[in-house]
Amino acid sequence: MYMVMMSAILSMMIAILLIVVCSVISKKSILDREKSSPFECGFDPKSSSRMPFSIQFFLIAVLFLIFDIEIVIILPMILTLKTSATSTWILTMMLFTFILIAGLFHEWNNGMLEWAN
């Protein structure tokens, strides 16, 4: 028990020491104008480096990621068909599919799938 306590205290002391050292080191670089400005071949940028992008593109990208993750969730369900009860498996698949369709219908009603306004 004593070794566990000493290990925990030592690891917390190392973490706190690293946090303090990193915060002291970073204070110098916050005030540096050149490091905080965008780099464009050594010259001042011709336009703003923070260009706005289309919110529709962002929503479509998020929608793609959501459906991509859902496909990853669906694929192992096919493998579990052999080992689980058929009625439980069908109920789970129907519930999951219903949630997907309900989410898609909600996004469609809110106009998130409209690319052009």
Residues 13-68: pLDDT tens digits?
999 999 998 888 876 655 566 666 666 566 665 666 666 777 777 777 887 888 88
Query: Within this chain, do residues 44 and 81 fall inside the same structural domain, yes or no?
Result: no
Residue 38 tokens read as 């965008």
Residue 37 domain flag: yes
* Residue 107 clears pLDDT 70, i.e. is over it: yes
How many domains does one find in the chain? 2
Report the percentage of the chain scoring pLDDT > 90: 17
Residue 12 pLDDT: 95
- Domain extent for 13: 1-52
Residue 64 domain flag: yes
**CA triple 24-27-31, angle to 5 deg:** 165
Residue 75 domain flag: yes
Q: Where are the alpha helices (DSSP H) in 1-117?
A: 2-30, 33-36, 55-79, 86-109
Residue 67 pLDDT: 80
Q: Is the pTM of this model over 0.85?
A: no
Q: What are phi and psi of 40, to 5 degrees?
A: -140, 75
